[in-house]
Amino acid sequence: MNRSTIDATLLILLGGAWGSAFVGIRAGIQSGASPFAFAAVRYLLATGAFIVLALAAREPLPSRRSLGISALLGGPLMIGGYALFLYWGEGQISAGYAAVLIAGSPIASAILARSVLPGERFSGLGAAGIAIGFVGVVVMFLPELGSGHLGQLEGALSVLAAAVAFAIGSVVMRRVHPSPQGQWGIGVQFAASTAFLAPFALLTPGGTALPLTATVVGALVYLVVVSSIVGYLIYFVLHDRVGPARANLVAYVNPVVGVGLGVLLLGESVSVPEIAGFALIVVGIAALQVERHRRSRTPTAASVTVITPEVGATPPGRVVGPRIPEGKATGPDPPR
């Protein structure tokens, strides 16, 4: 295979690993797992996995400041807060719907980055992209607003809150810790998110439910091994081969995989507003990407970074991973 074919294959595999996480989360919760316990145990296992990877790779231990920022900001905001709302929301709405709603996270990130990060400005094209993406989110909410089904509306709002939580965390992390983070940093963020989620599991009625059925255990193993570990490793390789802008095109693949697998494996349906809303979000993100590309060609102008989250694994905001040299990556990070 030639280089472009390999890169395209890696992008599809990454979209599969991250997009399928929505289905894994939904399957576990439908099988009786508490959203909070399910998320906490996933991240606890992922913590151990990344610590082992860091030790095996002999990755130097980051500074105390770096680890402290990962523990106090990255873990609770980008992963813990994201998971808190996402997992609870997926107990109310379909995996495909959740995947499409999360696709709007780059829009929220761009808005927040404009106010918080120096130089993160956009012109009329970027503003138009944000407006179009916002309309897309509104379109997806129209059925819930008109149906009177409170559970569906609450679930959708919760998933939207997950996208906003991730956007806030990623932008704040880029402000206080712009340098790349390796596997130690990711492991610490997973550990902090576990500690953040544990009280919700312990204090919520039925919050510790985690039946050891084949579906729950299988979904948990899949989320840790495929969506977290394998997904990250693929992202690191792809980031190193094609750079952050192209690697983060996975944001377009994740929802497609989430919707498709939701239909095939869980028997979910897809509504016209979901398709129309997602199409508008894609147009909005594309406009932001074009804006970013234009500005990156001007040495004195700061580029607009499109930050896109992954499902429950590693939200984008900084560039992560041992394969990414210092200073090489300037774009958003993957979702976790």
pLDDT tens-place string over residues 238-269: 877 776 666 667 777 888 899 999 999 999 98
pLDDT at 325 over 70: no
Measured distance CA(2)–CA(5) in Å, rounded: 5
Contacts of 233 (CB under 8 A, 6+ apart): none
pTM for this predicted structure: 0.81
| Mean pLDDT confidence for 49-78 | 87
**Terminal CA-to-CA distance of the chain, rounded, Å?**
29
Where do the domains of the chain lie? Answer: 3-296
Compute the mean pLDDT over every residue in the chain, rounded to the nearest whole number: 80
**Inter-CA distances, 132 with 25, 127, 136, 246, 277, Å:** 29, 9, 6, 22, 9
Strand-pairing partners, residue 320, are: 181
Do residues 164 and 50 touch, judged by C-beta distance below 8 A? no
**Inter-CA distances, 2 with 171, 239, 250, 300, Å:** 36, 17, 20, 35
**What local confidence, expressed as pLDDT, does residue 329 receive?**
36
pLDDT at 177 over 70: no
| Mean pLDDT confidence for 6-19 | 88
| Mean pLDDT confidence for 173-177 | 74
Structure tokens at 174: 């880029």
> What is the dihedral sign for C-alpha 42, 46, 49, 51?
negative
| Mean pLDDT confidence for 310-315 | 43
**What local confidence, expressed as pLDDT, does residue 140 receive?**
79
pLDDT tens-place string over residues 277-298: 888 888 887 887 777 666 666 5
Which H, E and C letters describe the chain, residue by residue?
CCHHHHHHHHHHHHHHHHHHHHHHHHHHHHCCCCHHHHHHHHHHHHHHHHHHHHHHCCCCCCCHHHHHHHHHHHHHHHHHHHHHHHHHHHCCCCHHHHHHHHCCHHHHHHHHHHHHCCCCCCCHHHHHHHHHHHHHHHHHHHHHHHHCCHHHHHHHHHHHHHHHHHHHHHHHHHHHCCCCECHHHHHHHHHHHHHHHHHHHHHCCCCCCCCCCHHHHHHHHHHHHHHHHHHHHHHHHHHHHHCHHHHCCHHHHHHHHHHHHHHHHHCCCCCHHHHHHHHHHHHHHHHHHHHHHHHHCCCCCCCCCCCCCCCCCCCCCCCECCCCCCCCCCCCCCCC
Do residues 98 and 297 touch, judged by C-beta distance below 8 A? no
**What local confidence, expressed as pLDDT, does residue 314 receive?**
43
pLDDT tens-place string over residues 182-239: 788 889 999 999 999 999 999 999 999 999 999 999 999 999 999 999 988 888 788 7
